[in-house]
Amino acid sequence: MGNSWFESVAEARRRAERILPWPVRDALVAGSEAGLTLDGNRSAFDQIGLVPVIADKPAERHLATRLLGVDLSMPVVVSPTGVQAVHPDGEVAVARAAAARGVAVGLSSFGSKPMEEVVEANPDLFFQMYWINDRDWMAGQMERARAAGARAVILTLDWSFSHSRDWGSPPLPERLDLRTMIRQAPAALSRPTWLWRYLRSGSLPDLTTPNMLTPAQIAGGERAPGFFGAYGQWMGTPPPTWDDLAWFTSEWGGPCMAKGVMTVGDARRAADAGFSAISVSNHGGNNLDGTPSPLRALHHIASEVGDRVEVVLDGGVRRGSDVFKAVALGARVVMIGRAYLWGLAANGQAGVENVLDILRNGLDSALLGSGVPSVAAVDPRHLVVPEGFHLRLGE
Active centre residues (catalytic): 283
Distance CA 79, CA 311 (A): 14
Q: How far apart are CA 85 and CA 90, in angstroms?
A: 7
Largest CA distance in the chain: 66
Identify which of 13, 36, 53 has the alpha carbon closest to the alpha carbon of residue 288: 36
- DSSP-assigned states of every residue in 274-302: T-SEEEEE-GGGTSSTTPPPHHHHHHHHH
- The set of residues, in sequence order, having a beta carbon less than 8 Å from that of 363 and lying 6+ positions away, is 63, 74, 75, 320, 321, 323, 324, 375
> In sequence order, which residues have a C-beta less than 8 Å from that of residue 202 and are 6 or more positions away?
none
H or E stretch at 353: helix 338-370
CA distance 227 to 158: 18
In angstroms, the CA 181 to CA 196 distance is: 15
- What is the chain's length? 395
Let me know the angle formed at the C-alpha of 322 by 319 and 328, rounded to the nearest 5 degrees.
Answer: 150
239-276 exposure pattern, b = at least 16 Cβ within 10 A, e = fewer = ebeeebbbbbbeebeebbbbbbbbbbebbbbbbebbbb
* 97 contact partners, CB below 8 Å, separation of at least 6: 340, 343, 349, 350, 352, 353, 356
Q: In 10 A of CB 53, how many CB atoms?
A: 12
The Cα 104–Cα 273 span in angstroms is 24
The Cβ-side half-sphere exposure at 28, using a 13 Å CA radius, reads 25
Report the half-sphere exposure of 90 (CA within 13 A, side-chain side).
27
CA distances from 50 to 60, 160, 164, 388, 391 (A): 19, 35, 37, 17, 20
